[in-house]
Each structure stands twice: as C-alpha cells, then as structure tokens.
Amino acid sequence: MSLDVEPPDPPELAAVDPNEYEDAEVSGGEYRRDELEAFLREGAWDAAFDEWAVGSDMDESDWRIALDLELVSRFDFFWDDFADRVGYHAPGIPEDWKERDLHPDLDSWGTVSAINAGLTELGQIVCETLKADYIDWEAEFDAPDDLPDFGE
C-alpha cells in the first residue's frame, strides 16, 4: 500500500525530558534537539516521510484524522548519547478515544491502531534517516572505570 499525500511541516521539538515518556529511558541530559530540528528542516523529515509513505498501511482517511488531531506536531526526537542513537516519542490516539469523542471519523479500533502504528513507523524511519544521513557526531559516553574487563 502507499499513501499519496504531501509531507506536513516537521515538528518543532520541545524541551521535554524524554524520561517522562512511558516508552523511553534515556541517560544524559544533552538531547541536541536544536540540531535535530535543523536537520529535519534541511530535508531529513521530507526524505523520511517519503520513504515511510511508500510503504505505509495508513490510508488517506487515517492520515486526515491524524492531521486534524494535530498528532504530527507532537512528535519528539532527541539524541540518546548513551545508546548512540536518535530516540523518539510518537504521538498517538489514547485508549479512551471513544469517551472523549476526539474526531467524527474516528469510529473503530482498527482506525486507531492503523494511525498509532503508522505514526510509530514514521518516527522510526525519521530516526534512521537522521542517524544514517545527517548526524556526524559520535556518542560522548565514557564507560566508568569500575566496569569489569571481560577481555582478560
């Protein structure tokens, strides 16, 4: 399947501690969001979005709901120095979507799942694109001196 839509503007990255997310555990405190946001604007976002859209299982109706709910603007990307990777938090539709009446076209768990899974996949591709094509810095993590030396 393929999603034939224009890429939205990349998200503006807020100064959030990634450890506040349920799905992230990050060591260090320098998340390099300004640099990542610049890379997104310089083309990483569009390149990743295009790659994602070609293989996306989301349809145009799902995508329209995600845009209407402004989910894309709630993505977060951050540098995880300890793991030498770009981490991310993908926005999603909450489990209580029915009670909250979030969108008139949001009418099934299948649609919710498609949107949440699609946004997670997009976040992963953005991270891979940033790391492979834009980031030229190396992790600065130095292992503590008291770690055992398994080489002996």
The stretch 43-54 carries a mean pLDDT of 96
- pLDDT of 74 higher than 90: yes
Q: Which tops the pLDDT comparison, 22 or 37?
A: 37
Phi, psi of 78 (to 5 degrees): -155, 155
> What pLDDT does 133 receive?
94
* pLDDT top residue among 77 and 20: 77
**Nearest residue to 122 via CA among 102, 92, 93:** 92
Least confident of 19-23, 85-89, 109-113: 19-23
CA–CA separation, 136 vs 76, rounded Å? 20
pLDDT of residue 152: 45
